[in-house]
């Protein structure tokens, strides 16, 4: 089954959405296991801690993304533009 791709203009929203899902999944799992140990209880707690952390992380990424882009642009040389010759 082939899915229709979203227009490029949605990239600025989809990238932080997917990034926040992956990052909060890993960080919340590690924090939960660190707090209660690698137990059945930790596995049961993890989904709720994941959703709680994601509900904060995703809007935060949307707000800070423009500032992060400016900071990175100030730290990194711009990509070379190849002249058509």
> How confident is the model at residue 85, as a pLDDT?
55
Q: Is residue 9 part of a domain?
A: no
Listed residue (40, 18, 39, 43) closest to 28, CA to CA? 43
Q: Is residue 24 part of a domain?
A: yes
> How confident is the model at residue 83, as a pLDDT?
66
| Count of domains for the chain | 1
Residues 3-10 have a mean pLDDT of 91
> How confident is the model at residue 2, as a pLDDT?
86
Q: Is residue 79 part of a domain?
A: no
Find all residues with CB under 8 Å of 54, minimum gap 6, and list them.
20, 21, 24, 25, 28
pLDDT for 21-72, tens place per residue? 999 999 999 999 999 999 999 999 999 999 999 999 999 999 999 999 999 9
- Domain coverage including residue 28: 15-72
């Amino acid at each position: 089954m082939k899915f229709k791709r979203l227009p490029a203009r949605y990239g600025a929203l989809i990238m932080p959405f997917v990034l926040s899902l992956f990052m909060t999944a890993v960080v919340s799992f590690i924090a939960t296991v660190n707090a209660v140990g690698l137990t059945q209880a930790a596995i049961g707690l993890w989904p709720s801690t994941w959703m709680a952390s994601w509900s904060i992380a995703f809007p935060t990424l949307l707000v800070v993304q423009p500032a992060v882009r400016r900071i990175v642009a100030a730290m990194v040389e711009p990509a070379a533009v190849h002249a058509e010759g």
